[in-house]
Structure 1
Amino acid sequence: MKGLYCRLGQTDADTKFVIQEMSLPANVDSHQVRVKMKACGLSPLDLKLLVDLGIQRDLIPVGREVAGVVLQVGSLVSSFHPDDEVVGILPLDYPWSGLCDVIDVDEHLLVHKPEKLSWICVAGAIRDGVCAYTALHTHARMAAGHTLLVMDGASTFGLLCIQLASYHGVKVLTTSHTPEQHTFLEKLQTSLARVIPVFEGSSDLLSDVLEETGGLGVDIVIDTGVRLQEDEGSNGNRLPHKHEVISVLGVGGHWVTSHQELQLDPPDCRLLHLKSASVTFLNQEVWTASTVQQGRYLHILKDIMEKMSSGILGPEPEEAFPLQDATVVMEMVQRCQKKSAIVQF
């Protein structure tokens, strides 16, 4: 059985993705199910996080968003039966690659896949779906009547945030990074209060938000990264500056950020204090890195599948790559040439 693994080098440039032969045990553990893979999502490896958690191996498994069919169940498994269709996210310390033909997975990491959903759809959306739930429900505590600003609404994560918030009666504003994204967002069936263009030569984010909210600001901001300096990055026009984000927040607002190394200067903190606003960090690995709230995590996975099946959540379909292209595609994902990718078996 072959799988895709990451072999670490002395530098990031030396890191390679390799196909490695692995073997499963003869018998399935009592609480595990043996699953034949149908599709697997690829996302960038956070090598620094693995070091922080003490997960250090010569070969790091690649491909953790998995979808497949149950072949065999352990003696104590109660949630699944052979031929069940399942989907889930493998934990950070999982020993096998999700790109293997067959893997053994703990039953408490999987949920049933609705029959009407495709393998590609669920494997490509489950990670961003969990992130959207975590940002809006766990961190921001959204409620009907709130106003939300989603940065980069055309991304899979942004689109799911928009759809989930709209379903719960939240007024949603979002930003577009290109004219094509702007047209796509304006044509969404999900009603948006405003699509704010932030590409070169477009309108001002702060003035547009204040105009739309009557000068009050928004209750929630969800970003996909921010600039710490005015001239930071070659694509700085696509990311909002941290002071812009704080400025668009209303009194008692919540800022949910994906920026791992956010630094706030005293004037930024003063402005947050004046608004009695808060900042929380969105760590997409928090549920699989800890089992403290495993039941809640499984509830989130089940709800994502139910809402996707009913059409409430509908990510844009992604192109699926064949298994033989997995190494090349993963290198592109790791170098941020692609945000994510899906491999179909």
Structure 2
Amino acid sequence: MVTMRAVDIKGGTGPATALFINDSTPKPTPSPTQALIRVKAFGLNRMDLLQREGKYPVPPQAPKTLGVEFSGVIEELGSKAHEGHEDWKKGDEVFGLAYGGAYAEYIAVNVHMLVHKPSELSWEECAGIPETWITALQAMYLVGEFAPGKSILWHAGASSVSIAGIQLSKADNASAIYATARQDEKCDFCVQKLGATAAFNSEKSNWSEEVLKATDGKGVDIIIDFIGASYFGGNLDAAARDGHIVNLASMGGAKLPGGEDVGAFVRKRIRFEGSSLRSRDEQYQGKLRNQLVEHALPKFKSKEFTIYVEKVFDWESVVEAHQLMESNKTKGKIICVIP
């Protein structure tokens, strides 16, 4: 058996300190439609922490190794990797989205989920794009049905997905862009660095009242929420008539406390829709990959869009990288590089 080094978890699940680099992980073999990538860098995501703890529904096609986004170099191509796709070749510099397995020296990925790495971007920047920006595009467009002139609210405004989303909203002419965060520094970042219209500290103020005040009582057309139960009532209050609330996670709890007034669903004709990216099939993900290439890649090259990287770790320090993400003090991506 050919082996490689990959991040593993002592006991299968556990805290950040259970992570270690396993020297005897089986090296993947690409299927006919896949490429084998030598990984240069990989991005951390909140789902990695949940998966590490055994609290994330991992799709059946995913390897047990963590990680869904990466940058690297094509080392090998499957026999059908050229059919209906770009003319990939060995040595191409790429970044991409996977169902799992990015915390490793090698990863096998369907070629349709790969993107050519622009020379204007670093390996670290590219490793922070796929999951983050594709999730933002999915939430805004496919689920939230954003169109120019609509207003939008991004919760967890300094999270990587919302950082991407605020920039996309601004570039695509949202009428107003609001954000919430739990620290003044993060709120300032959303307004001053990203271009949000206003950001509200959810620890210090009633953010839904602030949104209604800022919109003269109208509310916002689209709300992208990662918090869940604790923001449920506030979302209903802050949504405009015919508003669309897109729920992507439940960081603030999954069970409603009771006594919630759901009358707003009828009164305001609100749509509440949950979504995820990792559970989608390759055809769905591939369409979003294409949208990323067409919609965002030119703006990455021109620097109109910025990939905010909070900190870069050597992958030998993956424990510290996970602990930093758990601290909830970051603004942007945490990236690990494999020398």
- Report deviation, 1:85: 1.1
Give secondary structure in 2 for the equivalent of 1:68: strand
For 2:283 and 2:248, the matched residues in 1 are separated by 22
Q: Which moved more, 1:324-333 or 1:63-72?
A: 324-333
What is aligned with 1:310? 302
2:112 corresponds to: 108
* Cα offset, 1:117, TM superposition: 0.9
- 1:250, CA displacement in angstroms? 0.9
State the TM-score, normalizing by the size of structure 1: 0.81
Structure-2 residue corresponding to 1:82: 90
How far apart are 1:15 and its partner, in Å?
9.1
**Aligned-pair CA distance for 1:148:** 0.9
Q: Which residue of 2 aligns with 1:36?
A: 38
Distance 2:75 2:60 in 1: 33
How much is the aligned-residue C-alpha RMSD, in angstroms?
2.9
Deviation at 1:337, TM superposition (A): 6.0
Aligned counterparts of 2:286 and 2:314: Cα–Cα separation in 1: 34
Aligned residues of 2:41 and 2:123 also touching (Cα < 8 A): yes
Q: Residue 37 of structure 1: CA displacement? A: 1.4
236, 247, 266: which one aligns with 1:246: 236
CA distance in 2, matches of 1:56, 1:113: 24
> CA 1:294–1:209 in 2, change beyond 3 Å: closer, same or farther?
closer
5+ residue gaps in structure 2? none
* Contact preservation (8 Å) 1:174, 1:196: yes
Q: Against the structure 1 CA distance between its residues 285 and 105, is the aligned structure 2 distance closer, same or farther, given a 3 Å change threshold?
A: closer
Alignment of 1:8-157 (within 5 A): 8=11, 12=14, 16-20=18-22, 21-24=24-27, 29-43=31-45, 44=48, 45-46=50-51, 47-50=54-57, 53=59, 60-78=64-82, 79=86, 80-92=88-100, 97-157=101-161
Aligned-residue sequence identity (percent) comes to 24
Higher relative contact order (Cα pairs below 8 Å, separated by 6+ residues) = 1
**Structure 2 CA distance for aligned equivalents of residues 22 and 191 of structure 1:** 44
Task: Give the alignment of 1:202-221 within 5 angstroms.
Answer: 203-221=205-223
Q: How far apart are residue 186 of structure 1 and its match?
A: 3.0
TM norm structure 2:
0.82
Distance (Å, rounded) in 2 between the aligned partners of 1:81 and 1:116: 20
Q: 1:105 to 1:55 in 2, by over 3 A?
A: closer
- Counterparts of 1:82 and 1:69 in 2: how far apart (Å)? 8
Residues 144/314 of structure 1: CA separation in 2 closer, same or farther (3 Å cut): same
How much does 1:35 deviate? 1.8
Q: CA deviation at 1:222?
A: 1.3
Structure-2 change in CA distance of 1:176 and 1:326 (3 Å): closer
Q: 2:288 aligns with which of 297, 312, 320?
A: 297
Question: Mean alpha-carbon deviation: is it higher for 28-37 or for 261-270?
Answer: 261-270
Give the SS at the match of 2:297.
helix
1:216-264 C-alpha deviation (Å, 9 max, x unpaired): 1111111220444xxxxxxxxxxxx321111011110011123453548
Q: How many residues align?
A: 318
In 2 relative to 1, CA 316–324 (structure 1 residues): closer, same or farther, beyond 3 Å?
same
Q: Give a deviation string over 1:192-233, Cα, whole Å, max 9, x none.
A: 322223333xx43233222221211111111220444xxxxx
Contact 1:129 1:160 in 2 (8 A): yes
Supply the distance in 2 between the matched residues of 1:181 and 1:281 (Cα, whole angstroms).
26
Q: Could you say which residue in structure 2 is the equivalent of 1:184? A: 189
Structure 1 pair 67–13 and aligned structure 2 pair: CA distance change class (3 A): closer
- The corresponding residue for 2:336 is 343
- 2:264 is aligned with 1:271: yes
The one-character-per-residue Cα deviations of 1:278-302 (angstroms, maximum 9, x if unpaired) are: 1111323233xx2342441331342
CA distance in 1, matches of 2:178, 2:197: 5
